[in-house]
Structure 1
């Protein structure tokens, strides 16, 4: 069970991390709108996990392998969109991890992995205590989806201050895992 403060804190941490780490340029905007009852956007998934003794948080990033997304994330690099997108997902998840580790010191973060969005219905098999989906628009043209899924081992409720989220949002430090 996740309390209302915990849900709010997770959402604020995600929103700040997505706005700062899923963009290729800090000047680019990232509009995020919660989705209720709609299927998330994107046929490809990149999944990252943050785990502790109390909970497991899955961040699923949904994307299309289309020209706009290719141009934005790959440019003229000699790598696939999935590889490039995994790096941005890892940065976003790492930013979330930095915020959560202040409340849960025993965190571990997974390596990103890719799946088809056809796997999404199986998320309910985890019996999540909290799930929230979002539609993201990056730089007014790239459309992504995101789903947060939290499974708990015990009651979970914590408060992350707005000042702490803003401070980490503007920080660009390098963290080695």
Structure 2
């Protein structure tokens, strides 16, 4: 139901978005490694935030896994006591998904995106309940110091085939779109 070209395009869009939006400081390293699907013991931490990008033809669930350890707090908070680590990562996850949404809207003009919500990383154990057509799992190393995980889960209601032409990060800043 999902062409290999579409799967690769979604993976490319995600990797581009993660490198552009998930580092705490622009220019920080973001190493991305594809991994087998996460099991019960998620290596990137027990916490998660999720967003959904939806259209008439598909739903793409984005789950960002993280730990509330000192290294993650230091990397993302760096002295800011006005926001929690969860709030900071929800904002960055929202920017990352916003970038993905902007790339996908070129092929699917009827897209919508949810607001981020916090979960336990164990939720990925239940992704099969959604009957996904494809699931990607990634481990990210941010700034050489912090591990995150990302799970992407695609459920398609129609055949999907497209080839992404990625815009540079400067062309798509992830601005809030009002409609």
TM-score range, shorter chain: over 0.9
Structure with bigger helix share is 1
| TM norm structure 1 | 0.93
Aligned to 2:63: 60
Q: Which runs of 5+ in 2 are unaligned?
A: none
Instruction: Give the drift of 1:31.
Output: 0.1
Q: Which runs of 5+ in 1 are unaligned?
A: none
Tell me which of 142, 160, 163 is aligned to 2:164: 160
Aligned to 2:145: 141
Structure 1 vs Structure 2 CA RMSD: 1.3
Aligned to 1:71: 74
Rounded to whole Å, the distance in 1 between the matches of 2:53 and 2:27 is: 28
Instruction: Give the drift of 1:22.
Output: 0.1
- Would the aligned equivalents of 2:53 and 2:60 in 1 still touch at CA under 8 Å? yes
Instruction: Give the drift of 1:157.
Output: 1.0
Rounded to whole Å, the distance in 2 between the matches of 1:61 and 1:92 is: 10
Instruction: Give the drift of 1:106.
Output: 0.3
Mapping for residues 40-55 of structure 1, pairs under 5 Å: 40=42, 41-55=44-58
**What SS does structure 2 have at the residue aligned with 1:99?**
helix
Instruction: Give the drift of 1:104.
Output: 0.3
- Would the aligned equivalents of 1:5 and 1:157 in 2 still touch at CA under 8 Å? yes
Runs of 4+ in 1 over 6 A off after TM superposition: none
Rounded to whole Å, the distance in 2 between the matches of 1:27 and 1:119 is: 31
Aligned to 1:3: 3
Rounded to whole Å, the distance in 2 between the matches of 1:107 and 1:6 is: 16
Tell me which of 70, 92, 95 is aligned to 1:91: 95
User: Between Structure 1 and Structure 2, how many residues are aligned?
Assistant: 173
Instruction: Give the drift of 1:38.
Output: 4.7
Instruction: Give the drift of 1:7.
Output: 0.1
**Alignment deviations for residues 5-54 of structure 1 (CA, whole Å, 9 cap, x no partner):** 11000000000000010012222010000002553422101101100000
1:131 and 2:135 correspond: yes
**Alignment deviations for residues 138-163 of structure 1 (CA, whole Å, 9 cap, x no partner):** 000110000110000011111113xx
| TM norm structure 2 | 0.92
Q: 1:118 to 1:101 in 2, by over 3 A?
A: same
